Amino acid sequence: MALIAFGLIAAVVILSALFVIAARNPVHSVLWLILAFFSSAGLMVLIGAEFLAMLLIVVYVGAVAVLFLFVVMMLDVDFVELKQGSLGYWPFALLIGVILVAELALVWSASGSLNFDAFDPSPGAETNTEAIGAVMYTQYLLLFQLAGMILLVAMIGAIVLTLRHRPNVKRQNVSAQTGRRRADATELKDPAPGQGI
Amino acid sequence: MSNAIESLGSLWGPLLVLGQIGLFTLVLLLSIAFLLLLDRKIWAGVMMRKGPNVVGPFGLLQSFADFGKFLLKEIVIPAGANKFVFIFAPILTCTLAFAAWAAIPVAPGIEDGTSWVISDLNVGVLYLFAISSLGVYGIIMGGWASNSKYPFLGALRSAAQMVSYEVSIGFVIITVILLVGSMNLSDIVNNQAGGLQNWHAFSFQNFPLIVVMFPMFVIFFISALAETNRPPFDLPEAESELVAGYQVEYGSTPYLLFMLGEYLNIVLMCAMMTILFLGGWHGPVAIGANAAGAMPPLLLSLAGLFWFMLKILFLFFLFAMVKAIVPRYRYDQLMRLGWKIFLPTSLAAVLVVAGYVTYFGVQS
């Protein structure tokens, strides 16, 4: 049963990854990418890493891919034009492909026989979530915090780079707006006839 | 019965799950039909109208008449629309809305420690969060595939809105997870056993935390309104400016699927609030262990189901009242509320609850 499920989901991952690069429409590409992410989460559920699977969906499908889709829809990229000269890059692409396959083969041979049946998604804990939490907040606490700091610095950097203080911009002061009472805003006048104010 | 189960062998498990899925689907569809009517009736009541009252007694069959009308209409696909994505978007919305219900525990099980749920996931809360965060795709895809200006604007608004409010929903969920120490939805419900005072929204078991947890409940409620594109945050489909937003080009069955998905998501959010904050299937008054032991377990399960549905109904009533009495937000106000008020507040709440749990421990 698990084997059938694995075969089906893995086939969907590979096919959708193929369609990501084969699709003519960039929006379709992103949609295929989302399917690939989603099916990979299915693979993770199959080996028992449910926490990772859910995080993959929340972070990549729910947030990152939405931004991708946003950008691709707004930019209106003409992929046909982009792909015109792409055939000239094939030796380079081949080189990268060969390197990837060689690395995979190296890992495979170095690890000896990979025994997937003995794989334990939650070593030393009851659930996958607890196992990941225990490792992350004890053994790798410093690295984990450092990664957070790096992301924070990157975020602040992006804000600083794009923030422009333009003059003549009218800004809203919400507390002033909501704090306004009738007495501050209106004034009752009683002009005498024929005189005006 | 047991003989029949044995003769089916390994087929019994999948068949049972299929049966449960069928039952959930049927009950949900029927409830949605009447909740839709309730929504319109409440709206009408606030405006001192009668609401739908022609089809059936008190208009009870109105939703079924609408259903027939939607099915029989012709599906019009606009010229220049992306056909596949155009049809796929409402199907995705509806499917995801149904899929989320797989993890919702609706009543205590007949045996101790079990519950009535299709799949008792260890990461149930995360699953719900993940599925509800996928809901935005149906809207973006529908808006883009229509190849029209208003739907596209609606889709963009909705994407920004849903991503913004998911952040605060995530933090609110974390405060509850910290109190319970588990992401299993049944565990979260069982942590609130023993009456009203133990529900997470009031949380007298960890007394000072009511100052944090009740505002968290309110934030979750408001974020749920934004997440389901309900008034006062229905900017993606604001009639007065975008005609109907991402739904402009839709009609007949695809529109029905959008509608169905939207209402399923609303009821799902009500169920999430019930489970996370209002004690799930536990009644407001605890029954003693002796009295509970004397009752047949099936009766206890059905009582649990009753409380669960009653709480969902109450929250749905609140959703409907908000729709009827609150005017629509402006878009910049919506963003300000999400990023400048809810995000810092819920982040601070996570810090407070985490500190409390670390230094005082949780009483449950």
Backbone φ, ψ for residue B53 (5° rounding): -145, 15
Q: How far is A44 from chain B (nearest CA, A)?
A: 13
Q: How far is A86 from chain B (nearest CA, A)?
A: 26
Q: Is residue B6 scored above 70 in pLDDT?
A: no
Best residue of B122, B131, B339 to probe chain A, by most A CBs closer than 10 Å: B122
Chain B residues with CB-CB distance to A57 below 8 A:
130, 133-134
Chain A residues with CB-CB distance to B137 below 8 A:
34, 66, 69
As to burial, measured by CB atoms within 10 angstroms (0-12 exposed, 13-18 middle, 19+ buried), residue B356 is middle
Lowest mean pLDDT among A10-14, B4-8, B296-300: B4-8
Which pLDDT score is estimated for A114? 60
Cα–Cα dist B156/B144, whole Å: 9
Q: What is the DSSP string of B313-328?
A: HHHHHHHHHHHHH-PP
Cα–Cα dist B121/B213, whole Å: 25
| Beta-carbon separation of B159 and A128 below 8 A | no
For the segment B16-43, the average pLDDT, to the nearest whole number, is 89
And the tokens for B143? 């808006």
- What pLDDT band is residue A124 in, cutting at 50, 70 and 90? confident
Chain B touched by A45 (CB under 8 Å): no
* A-B Cβ pairs (cutoff 8 Å, strict): 62
- What pLDDT band is residue B250 in, cutting at 50, 70 and 90? confident
Which pLDDT score is estimated for B343? 92
Chain B residues with CB-CB distance to A59 below 8 A:
none
Which pLDDT score is estimated for B279? 82
Average pLDDT, chain B: 84
pLDDT digits (tens, 9 = 90+) for A72-102: 877 766 666 666 767 777 888 889 989 999 9
- What pLDDT band is residue B313 in, cutting at 50, 70 and 90? very high
- What pLDDT band is residue A126 in, cutting at 50, 70 and 90? confident
End-to-end CA distance of chain B: 39
Element housing B107 (H / E): strand B107-108
And the tokens for A164? 């422009």
Average pLDDT, chain A: 84
For the segment B146-150, the average pLDDT, to the nearest whole number, is 83
Cα–Cα dist A61/B157, whole Å: 18
Q: What is the DSSP string of A43-68?
A: HHHHTT-HHHHHHIIIIIIIIIHHHH
For the segment B30-50, the average pLDDT, to the nearest whole number, is 90
Chain B touched by A146 (CB under 8 Å): no
Crossing angle of the two packed helices B210-227 and B343-360, in degrees rounded to 10? 140
Do residues B349 and B200 lie in contact, with contact meaning Cβ atoms separated by under 8 Å? Answer: no
**Helix H segments across B47-148?**
62-72, 83-99, 124-145
Q: Is residue A15 scored above 70 in pLDDT?
A: yes
pLDDT digits (tens, 9 = 90+) for B187-213: 888 888 877 777 888 877 777 777 888
Cα–Cα dist B123/B182, whole Å: 8
Q: How far is B182 from chain A (nearest CA, A)?
A: 9
